[in-house]
A = this chain, B = another copy of it.
């Protein structure tokens, strides 16, 4: 997927576009769109400004491509876990424990880039909103699939709402965690949310 044509006419690129995008993603993730400068991205990637522009377009395109990369890497990985065989309750509990885990076990205050983007640029940029909602839909669908193997089945027409509910709680937890909420609060919310599907 990375080198579709192993030999092209002009001078070959001296940096790995995927690696650079990963670094860019990481900066936007931590600092948000407006909090990130091109100089930050140059520092993070080690790639000169003009080369970044040549590869990615402009700052907004870099943000969009970073967000899409996040969805097709981090988010898809979470979806895979949710869709894997296993106890539904356990998977959902694991999903809701991610925000507290990241914040207080791993010391990662960035939260979830998808959630951040939903609070950041998605509000007034329709294209970014679309990408954000796409990522949220992917998550919700994976949750819905996990709900299929639940001991206590929600009513057929309510499974989508239940899946959205878990997405909503997850999003709230991520934002509270980024704001500094303590682990006891996050755990309490998680356990309370789990009662909606526990027998």
Contact = CB atoms under 8 A, between A and B. Distances in A.
**Shortest beta-carbon contacts, A-B, top 10:** A118-B179, A172-B172, A161-B188, A34-B34, A165-B192, A168-B172, A129-B180, A171-B172, A119-B119, A122-B179
Interface residues of A, number: 51
22 contacts: A31-B34, A32-B32, A118-B175, A118-B176, A118-B179, A119-B179, A120-B120, A122-B179, A123-B178, A133-B180, A136-B179, A161-B192, A162-B192, A164-B188, A164-B192, A165-B169, A165-B192, A167-B189, A168-B176, A169-B169, A169-B172, A192-B196
A33 to B, nearest CB: 8
A170 interface: yes
Interface in A145-187: 158, 160-162, 164-165, 167-173, 175-176, 178-181, 185
A45 interface: no
A195 interface: yes
Nearest to A124: B109
Q: Label chain A's interface by main secondary structure.
A: helix
A90 B153 CA distance: 27
Contact of A123 (B117, B133, B179): B179
Interface of A: 30-35, 109-111, 115-120, 122-124, 126, 129-130, 132-133, 136, 158, 160-162, 164-165, 167-173, 175-176, 178-181, 185, 188-189, 191-193, 195-196
